[in-house]
């Protein structure tokens, strides 16, 4: 019995030691996995050069914008009422941080898929070059320096999409790595379960000891799995609204495509963009903007609440919905969303109103892949905005060609303005005054009109590229260029002995510019132009944010001798009080009324009323669109003696204007009405 007892004791001890060694090995494996998953969590939480690059890039651009526009930086942690001014030192600090981050990354390595290494390494090289380029601008940047700010934005903004793409690629790679670690952890746990079964043969003591450790390991496993679930949620969801993000949308689109292919059903991708959301952020602050996004997301999910509906936020003020339904159903629900988002949002006692533009693509009827779905829905959204916003558009095949051409024209126009107006020309249409006593007419002024001659597409219709300039935020730069060129031409004409008056249209961008008066006065002093020969034209339908401020600014210019004309009178919505508040000198009768005065008594009555109103206000009158002798005779009978129209000349090049002035003699009406038009026929453009 002793022998057997010793054998059993030795076997027991050997079993205990073996089980302990096996347990120790398994515990070491679990500890290694725990460390690896902890490291994965830290990487996915953003402690990485690639993701920090995106954060610091966005932070620098935000700080720069706040500094230039004099906005304060909200300290969320200190409370909603605390804010600090952005200093130049803060701008330099974040620029240095961004600079250090970009130049410290030697290459994009394992965190990015190998297929994208070359693209992102090229991004780093180009970004370094651009940082060197904007370095002097940042060093000299001052509040209100919009030119330097635009140059910085134009240089750095093209990288936003690629930097975001790089961060998304890194996040996707890490999610896949975390998934691999999870599988290894599951395998280790299976081994531990096997160890539990084996330890039962070692006796109650070993089983008890191992059971305690197994309980600890299982508890750790639950904690790790919870952390992993949190990591996966953060990687696939928007932190603000809790909706899925772009990565989540891509995954769901691929699943929808697989289901559609298997069952022969289609589905729709719907993109929503909140119109003028930036105005809410600028007016009420970003915390209020975040609350608005949450409320908008709630209204969106309340309507698209079906089991198969997938609602996501792509970023900023853009949302996307995947819906497995026919177009008629989606169309009805999209209308409900547009109405819902147009209703007032009650936020902190404020009635905030926005609207929404919507683009829709459909698989497989119109789009044939996930990339095409996103691209086509985005094109349809762009078209909805172009048509006036607060509406939806379904993608059509021709949209991509038209919008691609528009994007190319926008880039070419931007390049033209950056190169001093290459391809742009200022054309001038004569304004003729008549004298009944002498029976003569004389060119007394010109109106400046811009023309664009594209190197590949030839002449671009004026309204087309003006709309492009307004949508792209280039209208300010274009208007400034027209002013400089036209004023320079006027000075040259005056030096040649021709004392013409110059009329130039003011854009909405210029009227909303608080510095317009000082900038124009500086331009007059720089070019040496006599302000008494300059007339600024505004339209009564122009989008002026603060009419009182605009009237005060125009009064300052009027005090300098500059005349002010109301263009296209009768086509807008201004009231007499608005006209009275402006220091007007001239009222221009719109061509739409002049065109019909030969045939319609209603238009003749309207023109008489406008002329009587102008005379009652002591204003000079100019009739636009005069094309026939009958029109001119009627206007003369109503005591209007200044005209502009094809009867006297089409818009022409400045050299043609000079030739016209040099060769034109006052014409007797009974002999000849129109002045000689010496402009080159190939350069004569119909005024829109």
pLDDT tens for residues 209-243? 556 656 666 777 777 777 776 777 777 788 888 89
Q: 620 pLDDT exceeds 80?
A: yes
Q: SS3 of 4, please?
A: helix
Total Cβ atoms within 10 A of residue 3: 7
| Residue 669: per-residue pLDDT | 35
Q: What is the mean pLDDT of residues 94-106?
A: 81
| Residue 670: per-residue pLDDT | 32
| Alpha-helix runs per DSSP H in 285-324 | 286-303
Q: What is the mean pLDDT of residues 475-479?
A: 87
CA distance linking residue 124 with residue 624, whole number of Å:
56
CA distance linking residue 120 with residue 131, whole number of Å:
16
Report yes or no: 606 and 596 within 8 Å, Cβ to Cβ: no
Reported as a pLDDT band with limits 50, 70 and 90, residue 272 is: very high
Q: What is the mean pLDDT of residues 613-639?
A: 89
Among 63-77, 131-145, 279-293, name the one with the lowest average pLDDT: 63-77
> For strand 534-539 and strand 563-569, is the pairing parallel, antiparallel, or unpaired?
parallel
SS3 percent helix, strand, coil of the chain, rounded to 5, is 60, 15, 25
223 φψ region: left (φ > 0), alpha (ψ -120 to 50), beta (else)? alpha
| Residue 622: per-residue pLDDT | 92
pTM score of the predicted model: 0.52
Reported as a pLDDT band with limits 50, 70 and 90, residue 487 is: very high
Q: Which fold has domain 424-505+649-688?
A: TIM Barrel (3.20.20)
Please write the tens of the pLDDT for every residue from 407-424.
888 889 999 999 888 899
Among 5-14, 214-223, 388-397, 480-489, name the one with the lowest average pLDDT: 5-14
Q: 108 pLDDT exceeds 90?
A: no
Q: What is the mean pLDDT of residues 392-397?
A: 87
Closest-CA residue to 653 (of 424, 414, 431): 424
Report yes or no: 228 and 182 within 8 Å, Cβ to Cβ: yes
State yes or no: cis peptide before 364, omega within 30 of 0. yes
Q: 447 pLDDT exceeds 50?
A: yes
Owner of token pair 């190319």: 408
Please write the tens of the pLDDT for every residue from 120-140.
788 888 888 888 888 898 888
Check whether domain 246-395 has CATH 3.30.70.270, yes or no: yes
Q: 6 pLDDT exceeds 60?
A: no
Report yes or no: 403 and 383 within 8 Å, Cβ to Cβ: yes
Q: From the DSSP assignment, how many helices (H) and strands (E) are in the chain?
A: 23, 19
Torsion (CA) 326, 331, 333, 337 in degrees, nearest 10: 150
Q: 577 pLDDT exceeds 70?
A: no
Give the contacts of 680 (CB within 8 A, at least 6 positions apart): 652, 653, 656
CA distance linking residue 462 with residue 474, whole number of Å:
14
Q: What is the mean pLDDT of residues 72-85?
A: 65
Q: 71 pLDDT exceeds 90?
A: no
Domain 246-395 and domain 424-505+649-688, same fold? Reply is no
Q: SS3 of 77, please?
A: helix
Q: What is the mean pLDDT of residues 29-35?
A: 69
- Cα angle value 144/148/152 (rounded, 5°): 120
Q: What is the mean pLDDT of residues 288-294?
A: 91
Q: Who wins on pLDDT, 632 or 283?
A: 632
Please write the tens of the pLDDT for every residue from 193-214.
666 556 555 556 555 655 665 6
Q: What is the mean pLDDT of residues 15-22?
A: 71
Report yes or no: 473 and 417 within 8 Å, Cβ to Cβ: no
- Token pair, residue 435, equals 């004298």
| Residue 683: per-residue pLDDT | 35
Closest-CA residue to 318 (of 390, 233, 395, 246): 246
Domain boundaries along the sequence of the chain:
2-236, 246-395, 424-505+649-688
| Residue 300: per-residue pLDDT | 92
CA distance linking residue 681 with residue 453, whole number of Å:
15
Reported as a pLDDT band with limits 50, 70 and 90, residue 532 is: very high
Report yes or no: 654 and 428 within 8 Å, Cβ to Cβ: yes
Give the contacts of 188 (CB within 8 A, at least 6 positions apart): 26, 29, 30, 33
CA distance linking residue 671 with residue 298, whole number of Å:
75
Q: What is the mean pLDDT of residues 577-587?
A: 79
| Residue 578: per-residue pLDDT | 65
Q: 187 pLDDT exceeds 60?
A: yes
């Amino acid at each position: 019995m002793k022998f057997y007892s010793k054998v059993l004791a030795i076997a027991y001890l050997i079993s205990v030691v073996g089980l302990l060694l096996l347990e120790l090995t398994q515990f070491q494996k679990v500890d290694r996995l725990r460390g690896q998953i902890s490291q994965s969590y830290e990487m996915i939480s953003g402690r990485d050069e690639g993701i920090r690059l995106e954060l610091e890039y966005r932070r620098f651009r935000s700080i720069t914008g706040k500094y230039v526009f004099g906005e304060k930086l909200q300290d969320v942690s200190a409370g909603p009422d605390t804010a600090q001014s952005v200093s130049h030192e803060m701008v330099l600090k974040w620029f240095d941080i961004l600079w250090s981050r970009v130049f410290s990354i030697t290459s994009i390595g394992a965190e990015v898929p190998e297929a994208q290494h070359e693209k992102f390494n090229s991004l780093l090289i180009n970004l370094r070059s651009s940082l060197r380029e904007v370095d002097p601008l940042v060093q000299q940047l001052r509040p209100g320096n919009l030119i330097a700010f635009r140059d910085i934005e134009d240089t750095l903004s093209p990288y936003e999409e690629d930097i975001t793409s790089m961060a998304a690629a890194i996040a996707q790679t890490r999610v896949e790595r975390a998934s691999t670690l999870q599988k290894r952890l599951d395998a280790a746990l299976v081994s531990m379960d096997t160890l539990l079964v084996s330890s039962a043969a070692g006796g109650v003591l070993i089983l008890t000891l191992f059971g305690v450790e197994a309980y600890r390991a299982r508890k750790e496993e639950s904690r790790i799995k919870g952390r992993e679930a949190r990591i996966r949620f953060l990687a696939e969801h928007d932190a603000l609204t809790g909706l899925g993000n772009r990565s989540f949308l891509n995954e769901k689109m691929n699943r929808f495509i697989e289901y559609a292919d298997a069952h022969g059903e289609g589905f729709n991708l719907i993109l929503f963009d909140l119109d003028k959301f930036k105005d809410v952020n600028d007016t009420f602050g970003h915390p209020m903007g975040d609350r608005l996004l949450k409320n908008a997301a709630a209204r969106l999910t309340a309507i698209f609440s079906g089991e198969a509906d997938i609602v996501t936020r792509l970023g900023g003020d853009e949302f996307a919905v995947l819906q497995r339904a026919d177009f008629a159903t989606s169309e009805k629900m999209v209308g409900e969303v547009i109405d819902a988002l147009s209703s007032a949002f009650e936020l902190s006692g404020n009635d905030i109103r926005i609207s929404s533009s919507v683009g829709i693509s459909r698989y497989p009827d119109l789009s044939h892949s996930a990339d095409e779905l996103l691209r086509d829905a985005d094109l349809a959204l762009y078209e909805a905005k172009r048509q006036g916003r607060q509406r939806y558009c379904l993608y059509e095949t021709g949209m991509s060609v038209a919008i691609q051409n528009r994007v190319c024209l926008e880039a070419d126009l931007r390049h033209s303005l950056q190169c001093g107006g290459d391809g742009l020309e200022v054309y001038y249409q004569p304004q003729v005054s008549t004298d009944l006593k002498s029976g003569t007419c004389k060119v007394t002024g010109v109106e400046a009109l811009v023309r664009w001659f594209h190197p590949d597409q030839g002449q671009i219709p004026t309204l087309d590229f003006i709309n492009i300039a307004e949508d792209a935020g280039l209208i300010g730069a274009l208007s400034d260029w027209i002013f400089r060129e036209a004023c320079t031409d006027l000075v040259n004409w005056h030096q040649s002995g021709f004392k013409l008056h110059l009329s130039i249209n003011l854009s909405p961008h210029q009227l909303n510019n608080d510095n317009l008066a000082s900038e124009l006065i500086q331009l007059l002093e720089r070019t040496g132009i006599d302000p008494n020969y300059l007339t600024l034209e505004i339209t009564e339908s122009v989008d002026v944010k603060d009419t009182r401020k605009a009237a005060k600014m125009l009064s300052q210019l009027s005090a300098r001798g500059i005349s002010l004309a109301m263009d296209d009178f009768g086509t807008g919505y201004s009231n007499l009080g608005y006209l009275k508040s402006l220091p007007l000198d001239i009222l221009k009768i719109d061509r739409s009324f002049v065109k019909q005065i030969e045939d319609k008594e209603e238009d003749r009555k309207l023109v008489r009323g406008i002329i009587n109103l102008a005379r009652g206000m002591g204003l000079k009158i100019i009739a636009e669109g005069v094309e026939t002798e009958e029109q001119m005779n009627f206007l003369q009978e109503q005591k209007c003696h200044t005209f502009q129209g094809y009867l006297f000349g089409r818009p022409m090049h400045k050299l043609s204007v000079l030739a016209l002035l040099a060769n034109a003699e006052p014409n007797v009406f009974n002999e000849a009405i129109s002045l000689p038009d010496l402009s080159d026929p190939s350069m004569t453009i119909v005024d829109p």
